[in-house]
Structure 1
Amino acid sequence: MDRAVPVIDILVGYKALQNNVKGMMFSGGAYLPRDDSEKESVDPSMIILMKDFGDFVYDEFTEPAKEMNLNVEEYTLLKLLVFLTPVPGLSPEGTKIIKNAHRFYSEILKQQIRQNSSTMNDFFDRMCKVINFLSIIEQSISYCDKGFSVMSLFNIANMKGELTYEVHVRKGFPSVKEK
């Protein structure tokens, strides 16, 4: 559950790149444009709560990924690496399995980039740019959680519900049992 938010963050950023959209595309047809003239058609609470997240992901992931022509193979492997990150609460064996899978897919990503690079300089440059996206997506979690936490806690846009609360507020911590 803890890895759902960063996987969705990279998905949202890549969908904007794929569809050549200036803004963030969300599920259900929701769209957060960057152009102020288009924002009139968007629910004001969405703009207030998701603008920082949308701007961060677009500026730090979507635009750089577009500039470097991040391909679908690199994106898919990045998404796997985002998902395959150990989280608190895993058993030592579970952590080991996740780390081994992460190393395995990191190696595949490295081979993929090496195959498509004409020089070692190109390889190192592209590898650094692609791997940098991992830390950017980790940073995006705080922007996304901030917006959804407020929406969930104050029931803005009818977001108060168990799943939203579990993903963005409680974040895998066990519930306190009532006496």
Structure 2
Amino acid sequence: MTTPPSPSSTAPAYTCEPLDSLTLGKTITIGPPPGSSYQPPLMDIAAHPFTLANNTTTANGHAKTENSGKAGGSGVEIRVNNLTLSISRGFGQVLRRVRFSFGEYGGNINVSANNQLVNVDNFSALHRKTIGGVEATVLSGGLGHDNGVIEFSGTMRDQQNGLGQLAVGGQELWIDDICFEQ
């Protein structure tokens, strides 16, 4: 008789960045560093233009650190409005999985992986979709006006235009507890 593997041996080996090291109230916009990025200990998170639902692009958005609990995560979270945030472990790094908590309360969502951008109404539209060879799985929530968790699985390499290994943006979007596997 073969013993099935224990849950811990099959679970992904995530490293998580809860964002709690970020200063509350810090706002970033598109521009030169440091005003255009957050630098928690495990990654760089930078500001980039956002594509609206009508496919026009805006560079007038902003992101701000808050502690409102809208993403359903722990402590400090990032509120995103008309902005795309790149998630990068550093130039030349490759991510295999990324998972984060989100709160989406209006507008559309941008996701970019391996230089392929998708623009959708809600995270639920990404469930079981492949973006640049990376599969998105909505683990909870995602219907709009709610919070939840999404996971991206696949090889995520550096993208053009400094978009890190994965980029996500929105309007009235909160992000927290970014976990990754290399």
Q: TM-score, normalised by structure 2?
A: 0.23
* Structure of greater Rg: 1
**Greater strand percent: which structure?**
2
**Greater helix percent: which structure?**
1
Q: TM-score, normalised by structure 1?
A: 0.23
